[in-house]
Amino acid sequence: MSLSHAELLALLSKPEDNFVERKSHGIKPADIRKTVVAFANSVEPGRSAVLFIGVRDDGTIEGCKNTDSKQKAVREACEQDCYPPIAMRSEVLRTKDGDVVAVVIEASNNRPHFAGPAYVRRGSESKAASPEMFRELVYSQNSTAAALLRIKSQVVSFVSIQHKIGDVRRVDDRGFRQGGDCRVLECDAHCARMQIVGGDSRYFSEPLDHIQIMYDENKHRPMLVFTGY
């Protein structure tokens, strides 16, 4: 739940913790990026993190000069300098000692976030990774996902053992087999989506823990082996 104006004022007088940070009005862009990325990667659903700008570490309010430009700088850092962009809201808290900018970061569905885009090589150039490429870079930390992404779009063999493709359950017939050719279309940290090549060309998906990657010695290409629970 987002913090109200009154709740932000109450937090202003409390000590720093995992989700409250104080910075002087002269905070540098690199420190803004560092703080908002750390918050976005850490705050849990139902919680909010707050960066107060215009407050010293000891809690003394020094005030923030030109609050409009400071809010603009934070928004640009979150939307242009962080990847994926970080959602935020900000408001000005008026106090007797000066104005303070409160930057509120809530739980993110797009984490992990980084203080800048990821880059990949395309030919002789370094290009900013597209959202799809970025997700694949993250998923590639899983060894099965990484292997599947390496053969993405290639025609590969598949065999499904005691298991109908696209169904997580085993069938009672121990001799049941399905086989053919397919392409891996996409893969995340949990499952892969494939399309059968030839025939009905239908689509199906399998959990990663149902997939073994082997080699088809007859066709000299990778082979995916699917099993059910």
Write out pLDDT tens, residues 52-95.
Answer: 999 998 889 999 989 999 999 999 999 999 988 999 999 999 99
Rounded CA gap, 213 and 90, in Å? 49
Give pLDDT tens digits for 107-119.
888 888 888 887 8
Domains detected in the chain: 5-106 (3.30.950.30), 119-227 (no CATH)
pLDDT in tens, 187-218: 988 999 999 998 788 999 999 999 999 999 99
- Above 60 in pLDDT, residue 1? no
| Residue, of 140 and 183, whose pLDDT is higher | 183
Report the percentage of the chain scoring pLDDT > 70: 100
